[in-house]
Amino acid sequence: MTLHVPKPVIALVMIEGMIFLASFYVGLLSSWVPTDDVLLTFITFLPKGIIYVLVFLSTMLAVGMYHGKHFASFSDTIIRLSISIFMALAALSIIFYIFPFVIIWRAIFVPATLTAFVALLATRYAALRLMHFHILKRRIMVIGVGVRAGRIEALEQERQVLDFVNVGYVPLDEKDVRVHRSKILLNNKCFKDLPAYYNVNEVVVAADEKRGQLPVLELMQWKSEGVIITEFETFFEREAGAVELNSLNWGWFVFSEGFRNGAWHRALKRGLDIGASLSMLIFFLPVIACTAVAIWLESPGPVILRQTRVGAKGKPFVLLKFRSMKVSAETDGNPKWAQENDSRITKVGAFIRKYRIDEIPQFLNVLQGSMSIVGPRPERLFFVEQLSQQIQFYNERHRIKPGITGWAQLNYHYGASEEHARRKLEYDLYYLKYNTIFLDLVVILQTIGVVLWGKGAR
């Protein structure tokens, strides 16, 4: 089972990859070419062109240019694209220093990058305009108007970029209506002809109670006519990048595809953890020293805070982080959620929290083996005991190592309540199901963008 990526995003990545490659060859042709055989030149420089493309696409992913919430603003696109180019310049400089044989001449690089910048702005502007044309999207119809249907409507409101357009909701016998009544399809048309009438590609079965209420014969007919029939759980998981917690049962864990955590995967993940942690600790050594001095000068108390957190298989471990609160933050001995504008946070603490600097010591936890770079955030035992009693399946997030960053942290804001913990668990369980090195790399790259913009921290 593979991670679902919306088709518009896949298409955009492919188009922009081709733009970068074409721009690379524009730069090559505008500079000195060592042979009259253009085809031979193209083939000779193809490996360098591929490196050029991959680095730029990676930095664009890192600054969030393939995240739906950043598609809608053209001014935001200009800023993020500019930052991604500077990041790519830095990354390529490091690559050229380590591997001199792949160096790209300045005479090629400058015109190639300028060409790519202009072409990408034009492409993003066109994509922004095309977002409003529903002809490019799948047309879905939802069976049901209750709680599950309400979550689909909420998803439509939360996401600025969707892979589908919803023509409406078909009511059954539900009394609890959770969707806007203007979106309910009146049965003034023959029920069995609804998909054809609304030109529907997919029907999502989101009825809260299926037993004895589903129009089984019509569903079978629609499926035989080429309409895709999808259960709500599958649809929500695919479109939201999360699981629907209220729809889960133990069978989902046992029989669903995914949840792969074999020896090869664990070895690759551990190698990624060790390599990334060592690199980050060396790279951030000056930041570590400056942060330690700033904390020591501002307020009395330890520079490094040690907290017991719950790790893999429910085993406790000592998490390391730079202290960002006053020593008297929890004098009564009762842990408290961090709140927005929390008075317990010091001035230095507010800064290092905003840019995730307080979490740098956790790379030592990763090297020690109690954490991973990517995984569910580790909680304190006090909160775990509370939440595991209040939220079903909460302890399932402890089946893998906790992480410094994770899928939930990228997709949901900081949680400071039971409801927030439920929503984050939906993303954690999704990550648990699609736990792959590819997803880890996506999370790591997008975390860079979150850190640069300083969003989501408290």
| CATH among 3.30.750.24, 3.40.50.720, 3.40.50.20, 3.40.30.10 for 134-240 | 3.40.50.20
The segment(s) of the chain belonging to CATH 3.40.50.20 are: 134-240
Phi, psi of 373 (to 5 degrees): -65, -45
Sign of the four-CA dihedral 372, 374, 376, 381: positive
CA dist 164 and 328 (Å) reads: 51
Report helix, strand or coil for 329: helix
What pairs with residue 169 in β-bridges? 142, 184
As a whole-number percent, the residues of the chain with pLDDT over 70 amount to 90
Tally Cβ neighbours within 10 Å of residue 458. 17
Q: Under a CB-based contact definition with an 8 Å cutoff, are residues 287 and 357 in contact?
A: yes
pLDDT tens sequence across 218-264: 999 999 999 999 999 999 998 888 999 988 888 888 877 777 778 88
The closest of 293, 428, 444 to 366, measured between CA atoms, is 444
The single-letter DSSP state of residue 317 is: E
The closest of 122, 44, 134 to 81, measured between CA atoms, is 122
pLDDT tens sequence across 87-144: 998 899 888 888 888 787 777 888 999 999 999 999 988 887 776 666 667 899 999 9
The single-letter DSSP state of residue 404 is: E
The predicted model gives 402-418 an average pLDDT of 86
CA dist 206 and 217 (Å) reads: 17
pLDDT at 377 > cutoff 70: yes
Across 103-236, the runs of DSSP E, i.e. the strands, are 138-143, 164-170, 202-205, 228-231
Question: Please, what is the angle between helix 38-62 and helix 74-98, to 10°?
Answer: 120
Report residue 170's pLDDT band, with 50, 70 and 90 as the boundaries: very high
Exposed e or buried b per residue across 266-296, where buried means at least 16 C-beta atoms within 10 angstroms of its C-beta? eeebeebbeebbeebbeeeeeebeebeebbe
- Contacts of residue 118, defined as CB under 8 A and 6 or more positions apart, other chains included, come to none
pLDDT tens sequence across 314-350: 999 999 999 998 876 665 566 776 666 677 889 999 9
CA dist 180 and 153 (Å) reads: 8
